[in-house]
Amino acid sequence: MNDSLIFGKNIALFEGIAQYDLKGMLDCLGATTAAYRKGELILMAGEMTHHVGILLSGRATIYRDDVLGNRNVIRALEPPEMFAEAFVCAGALHSPVTVEAASDASVLKLSFHKIVRTCANGCDFHTILIRNMMGILAKKNLALGEKIDHISQRTTRQKIASYLLAQAAGADEFSIPLDRQTLSEYLCVNRSALSRELSRIRNAGVLDYHKNRFTIQDREALEQLLLSE
């Protein structure tokens, strides 16, 4: 395993663990790394897994297909985010989601049970790992609630406004981690309808954008879109 891929990544799971303890901890956890090309599946829905993954480089997308084959994007991943921890923690035997590399990517894989159970060596870091894991799960739960807020809006325009205001986090210029296709899948709207509404909002002077970079020109007007029919 290439430890240089892991050092200096500010991985939330390892917060509070000294770098000189990291190698021994990774050995204890049975850590491995894997590389993926763009479009390759890191984890497939229905696949049995007992591991959590941490994206070390590149980008990835977590999605779920419905019975009609429509893709529902759950989350876009950027380093050093974790994935698969929720359903592994819940005891799910098979993954309910697919994780796909959106670019060339590298992933650190860790045994979930070795994270949350103390080992025979009595390693001190297990208590820190468990605390960090609880924090990560709580933040992911909040993120899921945020997505529900966006997609529960009644119109495509309101969904766009809700999402962009959340991504802006008070800033006037910001980038989003999703391209148009992935954004439409995340918001559960038709891509053409998404592009059409974005153009209308831009033509109204509310915001400007280029690819995934946005500039809010009239914040009050963008907020008012949430109240429009």
Structure tokens at 104: 């060339």
pLDDT-based confidence at 171, cuts 50/70/90? very high
**Structural domains of the chain sorted by starting position, each given as residue range(s) with its CATH number in brackets:** 3-150 (2.60.120.10), 154-225 (1.10.10.10)
Tens digit of pLDDT for each residue in 179-210? 999 999 999 999 999 999 999 999 999 999 99
What pTM did the predictor assign? 0.81
Q: What is the pLDDT, as a whole number, of residue 50?
A: 86
Task: Summarize the confidence of residues 23-44 as an average pLDDT.
Answer: 91
Mean pLDDT of the residues in the chain: 89
| pLDDT of 4 higher than 60 | no
Q: What is the pLDDT, as a whole number, of residue 130?
A: 86
Burial code (b: 16+ CB inside 10 Å, e: under 16) for 37-76 equals eeeeebbeeeeebebbbbbbebbbbbbeeeeeeebebbbb
How many residues appear in the chain?
Answer: 229
Structure tokens at 169: 């986090």
Which residues have CB under 8 Å from 12's CB, separation 6+?
80, 82, 132, 135, 136
Tens digit of pLDDT for each residue in 82-116? 999 988 888 887 899 999 999 999 999 998 888 87
Best-predicted range by mean pLDDT (40-44, 93-97, 129-133)? 40-44
pLDDT-based confidence at 119, cuts 50/70/90? low
pLDDT-based confidence at 79, cuts 50/70/90? very high
